[in-house]
């Protein structure tokens, strides 16, 4: 809902609020040179690695990788929604958030009405459970205590076809949109959930946004979930996360299991740090949500083929985040067992033994890939290298990626740097063959004022931008602003954008060049890139001349480029 507040107002709020003043209200900051330091509020540490940059209005933790502006901090630390964070900062700056227009107000009212309706229906299901002996008997047979049932607000839907439908006649259109009721023969409406144990899906803010449901027997479908709606996207939510955060704001580790009953069974044995995906393989959005709260994830799956398939999908969705200093492990239970059945049969201590034998992500990755490509012949080894390299190259350049490449070197018995990987496309990389855009972008993101001082190098900048869409976009954004821009404004521009993490990485990149010398460095980088591009053009024309005779225009262009290159070398 970030778009309901004018961008200009958000930028004004960021310009008028000091990130140091804001963060000092929540954590203890100590001066450290031109910046401030603190122990990180987002992970456990003894040595301060949380840095706040006063000039950039930006924070970064060198331990867990968490970073952002004042808005990001409030959303993560105080668990606020975007608008609530803006309202807090606006109040601090003595500003008033613009009133919502009619269209936006209608949209907010629609959300509020959906949350309210879900809450009423959830409470009616809880009442049904408390007054239905068959449902209570089932709950007891599954080892679910009244305290755990209350923690997860478990309920029961009556077997009647239209109990909820008739109770909320004025909300049929909304209930149909939310998937609570459905239309049958002769357009007759009926309750979608009937005769089932109901598991409310609660978001991080404590609002009910959907339901999971299980039959009292093993009739099919055994499980039924709310369909996606404007308030619920199953690929974005995690069952049990709200209950974890209610007990502990920053859990040390989060266990990911496959089902609601796994989460509830673990909680029944006082294992209160598990979440479940909602009927799908874990998604990148769900991984990101977990990482906002903990830098340690343990995936726990059945040891059968389906469990291993789910584990591999989870690995592919989490591996691109491994550069952030996170810890990921995989636990495989005996075939035919899930966390619910295992802990019920064998207890918490036996389950702990399996967790002690968990495989870390690199070990599981290479074990899986080597089993997939078994054999010592050249073709098999080449396929193994290519398959591993393709996945490893999805990890942004980092120490973790380098170590993964080193391990592949040992397994392959060759240096993978010599393997042609041009067919693979790394995440967050630039099209330019040199690393100039990365260095230049990092300095521009951290010191936006550099753009106005590069006017004499405008042509070189434009030439470089043709090879890099993000550089062009950021430069255009800075030039379009008529007020002093900070890193915080650029970070905000890319909130919820595919480039968000990369821009934050640029903002937190350590540049060992004093601020006063960065303009000269930018000019040198541009000159170097111009020389590279010129040489590429020369080489292309010379190569062509060997195969066929150049026309007059091409010969003239080659002569100009060679003269330009000579002048560049003489002045450098």
Contact 404, 395 (CB under 8 A): yes
- What pLDDT score does 279 carry? 74
Going across the sheet that includes 208-215, the strands are 155-157, 196-202, 208-215, 223-225
Q: What is the pTM of this model?
A: 0.63
CB neighbour burial string for 477-511, b if at least 16 within 10 angstroms, e if fewer: bbeeeeeebbbbbbbbbbbeeebbbbbbbbbbeee
C-alpha torsion 97→99→105→109, nearest 10: 60
- What pLDDT score does 281 carry? 83
pLDDT at 205 over 70: yes
Please state, in angstroms and rounded to a whole number, the distance separating the CA atoms of residues 405 and 389: 8
Q: Which of 117-131, 228-242, 439-453 has the lowest mean pLDDT?
A: 439-453
Task: Tell me the per-residue pLDDT of 261-284, one tens digit each, with 9 for 90 and over.
Answer: 999 999 999 999 999 988 778 888
Hey, what are 385's tokens?
């290298």
User: Tokens 């606006």 belong to which residue?
Assistant: 90
**Phi-psi sector, 51: left (phi>0), alpha (psi -120 to 50), beta:** beta
Please state, in angstroms and rounded to a whole number, the distance separating the CA atoms of residues 477 and 475: 5
pLDDT-derived band at 544 (thresholds 50, 70, 90) equals confident
pLDDT at 450 over 60: yes
Q: Look at residues 175, 6, 3 and name the one whose alpha carbon lies nearest to residue 95.
A: 6
- What pLDDT score does 106 carry? 59
Please state, in angstroms and rounded to a whole number, the distance separating the CA atoms of residues 499 and 470: 9
User: Which of 375 and 234 is assigned the larger pLDDT?
Assistant: 234
Local structure of 21: helix, strand or coil: helix
Local structure of 208: helix, strand or coil: strand
Please state, in angstroms and rounded to a whole number, the distance separating the CA atoms of residues 208 and 118: 6
- What pLDDT score does 423 carry? 37
HSE at residue 211, side-chain half, CA atoms within 13 A, is 31
């Amino acid at each position: 809902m970030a778009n309901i507040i004018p961008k200009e107002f958000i930028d004004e709020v960021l310009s008028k609020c000091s990130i140091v003043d804001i963060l000092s209200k929540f954590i203890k900051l100590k001066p450290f040179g031109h910046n401030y330091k603190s122990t990180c509020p987002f992970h456990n540490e003894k040595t301060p690695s949380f840095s706040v940059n006063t000039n950039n209005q930006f924070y970064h933790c060198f331990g867990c990788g968490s970073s952002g502006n004042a808005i990001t901090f409030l959303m993560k630390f105080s668990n606020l929604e975007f608008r609530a964070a803006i309202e807090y900062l606006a109040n601090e700056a003595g500003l008033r958030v613009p009133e919502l227009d009619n269209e936006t107000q209608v949209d907010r009212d629609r959300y509020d009405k959906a949350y309210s309706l879900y809450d009423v229906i959830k409470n009616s299901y809880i009442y049904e459970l408390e007054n239905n002996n068959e449902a209570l008997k089932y709950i007891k047979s599954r080892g679910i205590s009244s305290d755990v049932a209350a923690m997860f607000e478990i309920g029961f839907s009556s077997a009647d076809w239209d109990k909820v439908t008739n109770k909320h006649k004025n909300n049929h259109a909304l209930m149909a949109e939310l998937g609570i009721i459905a239309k049958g023969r002769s357009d007759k409406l009926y309750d979608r959930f009937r005769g089932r144990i109901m598991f409310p899906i609660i978001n991080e803010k404590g609002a009910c946004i959907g339901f999971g449901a299980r039959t009292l027997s093993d009739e099919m479908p055994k499980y039924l979930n709310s369909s996606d709606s404007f308030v619920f996207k199953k690929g974005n939510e995690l069952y049990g996360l709200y209950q974890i955060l209610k007990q502990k704001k920053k859990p040390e580790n989060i266990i990911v299991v496959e089902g609601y009953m796994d989460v509830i069974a673990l909680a029944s044995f006082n294992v209160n740090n598990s979440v479940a995906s909602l009927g799908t393989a874990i998604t990148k959005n769900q991984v990101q949500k977990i990482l906002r709260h903990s830098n340690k994830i343990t995936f726990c799956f059945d040891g059968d083929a389906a469990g291993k398939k789910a584990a591999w999908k989870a690995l592919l969705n989490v591996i691109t985040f491994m550069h952030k200093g996170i810890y990921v492990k995989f636990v495989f239970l005996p075939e035919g067992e899930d966390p619910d059945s295992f802990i019920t049969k064998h207890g918490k201590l036996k389950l702990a033994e399996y967790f002690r034998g968990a495989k870390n992500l690199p070990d599981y990755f290479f074990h899986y890939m080597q089993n997939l490509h078994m054999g010592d012949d050249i073709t098999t080894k080449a396929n193994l290298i290519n398959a591993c390299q393709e996945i490893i190259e999805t990890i942004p350049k980092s120490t973790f990626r380098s170590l993964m490449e080193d391990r592949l070197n040992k397994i392959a018995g060759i240096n993978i740097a010599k393997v042609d990987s041009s067919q693979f496309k790394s995440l967050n990389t630039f099209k330019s063959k040199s690393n100039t855009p990365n260095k230049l972008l990092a300095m521009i993101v951290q010191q936006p004022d550099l753009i106005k001082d590069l006017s004499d190098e405008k042509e070189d900048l434009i030439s470089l931008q043709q090879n890099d869409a993000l550089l062009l976009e950021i430069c255009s954004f800075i030039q379009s602003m008529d007020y002093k821009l900070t890193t915080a404004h650029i970070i905000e521009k890319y909130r919820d954008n595919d480039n968000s993490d990369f821009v934050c990485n640029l903002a937190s990149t350590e540049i060992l060049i004093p601020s006063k010398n960065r303009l000269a460095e930018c000019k040198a980088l541009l000159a170097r890139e111009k020389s590279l591009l010129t040489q590429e053009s020369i080489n292309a024309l010379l190569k062509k001349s060997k195969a066929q005779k150049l026309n007059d225009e091409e010969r003239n262009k080659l002569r100009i480029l060679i003269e330009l290159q000579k002048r560049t070398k003489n002045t450098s």
